[in-house]
Amino acid sequence: MNNMLPMLYETLFGILALFLLTKLLGKTQISQLTAFDFIAAIVLGELVGNALFDKKAGILDIGFVILLWGVVLYAIEIVTQKFKGSRFILEGKPAIIIHKGELIYEEMRKNKIDINEVQQLLRMKDVFALQEVEYAILETNGELSVLKKAPFQTPNKKDLNVAPEEPQIAMPLIIDGEVVKDNLAEANVTEEWLLDELKRQNYDDIRQVFYAEWLEGKKLFVLPYTKIKKKHLKKKYK
């Protein structure tokens, strides 16, 4: 029991050290996992190992650290839900590494990924030529999401003799009741236009909207908070 305070310091230090390490190594080192999923797996595995093989670690000591780790993870989850600005720091954000067919070297450098790793991730998506790709987004879990150029999309429009259309990527304009201003600029629309579109769909306040997605030539796709809550309740009580 006397070891609990030093164990508290060591646990918090371990969380910080592992978090910084995953950020330093880059997203591709923790493919399939977010940074905190990766840390949780390592720490919980170590705790179980200590419980099995360390004779000095008693059940109370191991139980305390497991409880402490659970509380920390729960607190992090609450923080990311309540304070949206913390999500980019704690969870990271996707990075566009291919934009309109061109590699964005600055984003590759920031995410510690080279051209060989990009090619490997593309092959895992059944893309064997970089020139086929219009957009590629490196997700927070290290995976690559790919949108091919129109002639190479399935079914192959060249084979069907169909005139190819310009490929598009959907832009989230509202997330969690807040306007994503960078995406407004990318979509070349204004906040006034967005408000007008919402009013046409009977939304008077941006805070009523959980998610809104823009795609050129399409009606603004809107999900209100009430709809999200109703779906959640239906799933919960089925």
Return the closest-CA partner of residue 206 out of 214, 197, 215: 197
pLDDT of residue 58: 58
Residue-wise DSSP of 17-66: HHHHHHHHH-GGGGTTS-HHHHHHHHHHHHHHHHHHH-TTS-HHHHHHHH
pLDDT of residue 228: 45
pLDDT of 185-216, one tens digit each?
Answer: 888 899 999 999 999 999 988 888 888 999 88
pLDDT of 153-166, one tens digit each?
Answer: 877 667 777 777 77
Task: Fold for 171-237, please state it.
Answer: CRO Repressor (3.30.240)
Task: Give whole-number Cα distances, 204 to 127, 172, 175, 207, 224, in Å.
Answer: 44, 19, 16, 9, 12
CATH superfamily for domain 95-152? bsu07140 like domains (3.30.240.20)
Whether the Cβ atoms of residue 149 and residue 167 lie closer than 8 Å to each other? yes
pLDDT of residue 135: 95
Whether the Cβ atoms of residue 39 and residue 22 lie closer than 8 Å to each other? yes
What are the domain boundaries of the chain? Answer: 4-90, 95-152, 171-237
On the question of pLDDT at 237 being above 90, the answer is no
Q: Rounded to whole angstroms, how far apart are CA atoms 134 and 98?
A: 7
Q: Which residue has the higher pLDDT, 93 or 48?
A: 93
On the question of pLDDT at 236 being above 50, the answer is no
Q: Which residue has the higher pLDDT, 74 or 120?
A: 120
Question: Could you tell me the two tokens for 34?
Answer: 């977010």
pTM tops 0.75, yes or no: no
Write a three-state SS string for 177-237.
CEECHHHHHHHCCCHHHHHHHHHHCCCCCHHHEEEEEECCCCCCEEEEHHHHHHHHHHHHH
Whether the Cβ atoms of residue 134 and residue 100 lie closer than 8 Å to each other? yes
By the 10 Å C-beta count (0-12 exposed, 13-18 middle, 19+ buried), 236 is classed as exposed
Q: Do domains 95-152 and 171-237 have the same CATH topology?
A: yes
pLDDT of 116-160, one tens digit each?
Answer: 888 889 999 989 888 899 999 998 778 899 999 988 887 766 777
